């Protein structure tokens, strides 16, 4: 068979590119022709699949400490991954975060660096942020905002969460207590009113406006277009065109659940493959909530146990080729 291997990252163990390489190697061993296309949904890992970093700028981290943030500039087009400047992992996780103080200013500084370097188009991918500041830090880093005139700013969102829901939905993941979630929610409401007054933009109605703790909504105030992160990545990599030219598709991610089918890689690939009439198989670390019933699935944990799935995911992905072939009916 001529197969497309198009997985997301296996969070905490493998990047999308590493997962694709391991899957492809196993399938090639069986004699299949394989095309590798690592994917992302606009969250962490999007910079890598969109070409990788070729620039680095020192910016303010989420709690103000300087961080070296990689980004990409190709011609007049820039790609920035907000997690590289304002991400929770930069702090070592939620337990080391101050969810009330955390700022998105570093992401704004990266956008400024891109514009100063001649970028006329800037794509900002969201996900994995430490912040719930409604993008205020990023906006302040962009002052004077007139400098953004004529810049095409696109924000790739990995969720459709609304601006006012950002604290409730994501605050606990960033270390916020119940009291802090309430405080952050009130702060976002006040900020939304200010944005409407100052910029004429009602961020409360924008699908995805709450992505990255409201950073998406904040950037909309300077003219950013909010789009589906998966759709942006898929379009730029030509996913639909490649699917038309293969016999089957293999996708995957670390944790398959119901959210995997709502704007995420597995769901997006599944829809594209079925639209083209091509069979699709998902290879995942672990499946939850009956999600494996929605797509033929190989689960590393189910077949090999959690310990081995965590210690040797690449090796198991290589070996999963046999199970993939069985699901394709080979």
Taking alpha carbons only, the member of 255, 176, 267, 263 closest to residue 213 is 176
Percent of the chain with pLDDT over 90: 96
Q: Tens of pLDDT along 213-240?
A: 999 999 999 999 999 999 999 999 999 9
CATH (one of 3.10.20.30, 3.40.50.10350, 3.30.70.2860, 3.40.50.720) for 2-39+238-327: 3.40.50.10350
Is residue 1 within 8 A of residue 330, CB to CB? The reply is: yes
pLDDT at 85: 98
Q: In what order do the strands lie in the sheet with 55-60?
A: 55-60, 66-74, 77-81, 121-125, 152-157, 225-228
Residue 134: is its pLDDT beyond 90? yes
Residue 263: is its pLDDT beyond 90? no
pLDDT at 68: 98
Q: What CATH superfamily classification does 46-230 receive?
A: Glycerate kinase, domain 2 (3.90.1510.10)
pLDDT band of residue 289 (cuts 50, 70, 90) is: confident
Q: Could you tell me whether strands 225-228 and 121-125 are parallel, antiparallel, or unpaired per DSSP bridges? A: unpaired
Residue 64: is its pLDDT beyond 90? yes
Residue 330: is its pLDDT beyond 90? no
Residue found under tokens 């890992």: 45
Domain ranges of the chain: 2-39+238-327, 46-230
Helix, strand or coil, per DSSP, at residue 9: coil
pLDDT at 158: 87
Q: Tens of pLDDT along 35-58?
A: 999 999 998 899 999 999 999 999
Q: Could you tell me whether strands 225-228 and 280-287 are parallel, antiparallel, or unpaired per DSSP bridges? A: unpaired
Q: Tens of pLDDT along 143-198?
A: 999 999 999 999 999 899 999 999 999 999 999 999 999 999 999 999 999 999 99
Residue 12: is its pLDDT beyond 90? no
Mean pLDDT of 129-147: 97
């Amino acid at each position: 068979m001529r197969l497309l291997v198009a997985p997301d990252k296996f969070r905490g163990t493998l990047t999308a590119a590493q997962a694709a390489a391991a899957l492809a190697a196993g399938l090639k061993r069986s004699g299949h022709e394989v095309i590798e296309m690592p994917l992302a949904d606009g969250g962490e890992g999007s910079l890598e699949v969109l070409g990788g970093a070729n620039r680095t700028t020192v910016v303010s981290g989420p709690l103000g400490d300087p961080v070296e943030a990689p980004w990409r500039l190709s011609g007049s087009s820039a790609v920035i991954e907000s997690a590289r400047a304002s991400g929770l992992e930069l702090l070592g996780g939620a337990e080391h975060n101050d969810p009330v103080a955390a700022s998105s200013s570093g992401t704004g500084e990266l956008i400024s660096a891109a514009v100063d370097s001649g970028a006329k188009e800037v794509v900002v991918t969201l996900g994995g942020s430490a912040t719930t500041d409604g993008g205020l830090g990023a906006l302040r880093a962009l002052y004077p905002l007139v400098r953004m005139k004529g810049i095409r700013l696109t924000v790739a969102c990995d969720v459709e969460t609304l601006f006012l829901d950002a604290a409730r939905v994501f605050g606990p993941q960033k270390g916020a207590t119940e009291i802090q979630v309430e405080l952050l929610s009130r702060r976002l409401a006040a900020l939304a009113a200010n944005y409407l007054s100052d910029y004429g933009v009602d961020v409360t109605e924008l699908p995805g406006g709450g992505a990255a703790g409201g950073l998406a909504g904040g950037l909309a105030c300077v003219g950013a277009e909010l789009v589906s992160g998966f759709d942006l990545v898929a379009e730029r990599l030509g996913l639909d065109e490649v699917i038309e030219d293969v016999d089957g598709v293999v996708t995957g991610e670390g944790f398959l659940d119901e959210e995997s089918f709502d704007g995420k890689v597995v769901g997006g690939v599944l829809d594209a493959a079925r639209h083209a009439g091509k069979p699709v198989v998902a290879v995942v670390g672990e499946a939850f909530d009956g999600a494996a019933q929605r797509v033929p699935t190989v689960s590393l944990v189910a077949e090999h146990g959690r310990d081995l799935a965590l210690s040797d995911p690449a090796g198991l992905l290589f070996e999963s080729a046999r199970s993939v072939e069985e699901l394709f009916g080979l």
